[in-house]
Structure 1
Amino acid sequence: MRKIPRIKVSGVEKSNGLLIVLSGPSGAGKGTLCRELLRQVPDVVYSVSATSRAARPGETEGIHYFFRSRDEFRAMVEQDELLEWAEFCGNYYGTPRFAVEQSLQAGRDVILEIEIQGALQIKKRFPQGVFIFVVPPSLDVLAERIHKRGTEAEEVIRKRLDTAVHELEYVSEYDYVVENDEIPAAVEKLHSILVAEKCRVKRRPLFFKGAVS
């Protein structure tokens, strides 16, 4: 019987961190899932987005968003300080470039919670990213969640629901879809996705010294 060669592995090449992009309709619970994932996996870095919208009650500058005026946001676009940006429901949203690239190069995983327009821009620049679409159990549940916020006028809520129906058409652009029915179960799915992605062969290049008979 022919002997099976034994392979010596000399080491594993250090790779950049994962870029995790989380999107989904407003009210799907992206923020809640993101916060819980960060609590359970503290090594993941949260990318704070910039926005031109006003802060909601309880939101803090530099933690939830970088709140900027529309003119300040446009200046960031002109100076190429954003990895992506988009206009959503009358407000600008974008991802500051420097901190994200610095963390990835240091081997740290970065999670972005961004709108679909921005996610598609990121996909063109970072096709190796992990793109996850969060959906609610149903549109009725989505409407209920948005109403419970109590922070927006009825006209804005209707616009968000109409937008959500349109956004669901983009699910196929993502690598994974996670239904946010029960938060613990949804977070477990997100964590499992990250573990699986880190085990991909293409993310863990090996160097072989050859076979030993």
Structure 2
Amino acid sequence: MSQIDIKFEEYKSLRSSIDMHLKQINEILAIMVAATSALLGYGLHSEVPWIFLTPLPIILSCAYLIRTQMEEVLRKGAYIMIKYENELEYIGWESTLYEVRRSSKEDKKQEEDKKWKMLERIIPTWKDAATDSKAIFLIAMILILICIVCFSYFIYDFIISVISVISIIFVFFLSLSMVLRRVLEAYTYDEEKRYVEKFNKAINEVKNKRG
């Protein structure tokens, strides 16, 4: 097999892998919504408040898995751009998308979206986040809030309710900063730039070692 054939097969494999990761993101999101809905339904039927807490680890786990899939898409896209599009001086999808993200980031610096201004103060990455990242973030956040509301409603002891709600809110914001925020950061120009620089460095080091 010639070097050209090897490169062609690698390119096809990477593109197929990216498609697979994108498909898995939708599947994981569907599982997250379905599992949470089922547990909420069971909780409403049984009226046991602690049941409403069980979806939280599922939501966070699914959000983390989605983030890892997004990371793989970005990583492989950056490699394709450097290894194939840049070396061949071919203006392909990954190079164009990278430039779109860069210019979009510059444009957003000049814009002021009053609708999301408060949210941007709490979560600075919101402004630069991709639309699908925002959608996943909002879905996860809404599910978590529903769990908290249902749990609070079925807790009859006021003191326990207050303590529990405060604890859950703390966990919510902790998870938000640790997991869901990382979902927002996926597909941003800064994140892709980090991978581009990393792969550029790695490829150059390999070339230098081989002479």
Bin for the TM-score computed over the shorter chain = under 0.3
Q: If the length of structure 2 is used for normalisation, what is the TM-score?
A: 0.26
Rg larger for: 2
Higher share in strand: 1
Which protein has greater RCO, CA pairs closer than 8 Å, 6+ apart?
Answer: 1
Higher share in helix: 2
